[in-house]
Amino acid sequence: MEYVPFPLLDLLDYDRWAKRPWTIHAIGCIFAQIAEAVAHVHENGIAHRDLKVENILVARDGTVKLIDFGSSAPSRNMVTGARLISWANWIGTPVTMAPEVNGETFYNMEKADLWSLAVIFLRLWLGVYPWEPQGVVGGLVENEAFLAFVEEKADKRPCMEGEHEDRLLCQIPGKARHVVAGMLETDPERRIGLRSVLESGWLREVVSTVS
């Protein structure tokens, strides 16, 4: 078994404690690898269902490793390619869990992973998770920070520069903002696909500078 020494969360929080916040480019390099790992898992018919910073390790050469598949489940029929939906709600960690997983309906597990990926990005960029829902079914939709985000999504005003701009998405640099906003669509049918994330101008630019 390969030994991977560095939890991503420890690296992130130590550098913030040392007043060395990561640049959007550095975060993009990490995030692109995480997204590629999730894409590989999905292409092999598996949904992770518990994506979070705590489940990511970093090797000495900077390679990202996705761990903890204890909550994973088949997401596709590998013979027909048809996507499978889940009836098992409340799987994962509340803070990164997609809204539809908080409910009591069937849902697309791969789309739910997309939401969790976006929350990981927010944790990397902001240094904190954007909301901390209660660990109960429906807890996310009762969380004040999440409800404020939902209202913000309906606010079509362009982001302003300056310290008075406190809308969550407006705190994300422009190149990444559109991509992350698409991943954080509360309606999973409107949520962008993982391939669109990987082929976005933002991540293509990031990958081109390190390849």
Inside any domain, residue 1: no
pTM of the predicted protein model = 0.92
For residue 50, indicate whether it is catalytic.
Answer: yes
Helix (H, G, I), strand (E, B) or coil at 74: strand
Domain that includes residue 96, residue range: 6-210
Q: What does the angle CA 10 – CA 14 – CA 20 come to, to the nearest 5 degrees?
A: 135
Q: How many domains does the chain have?
A: 1
Total residue count of the chain as it appears in this document: 211
CATH for 96: 1.10.510.10
Contact predicate 184/118, CB 8 Å = yes
Both tokens of residue 163?
């310290």
Which one of the listed residues 50, 61, 155, 187 is annotated catalytic? 50
Contact predicate 79/34, CB 8 Å = no
pLDDT in tens, the chain (211 residues): 788 889 999 999 999 889 898 999 999 999 999 999 999 999 999 999 999 999 999 999 999 999 999 999 988 887 777 777 776 777 888 899 999 988 778 899 999 999 999 999 999 999 999 998 766 656 787 888 899 999 988 888 888 876 567 889 999 998 899 999 999 999 999 999 999 999 999 999 998 887 6
Whole-angstrom Cα distance, residue 177 to residue 180?
5
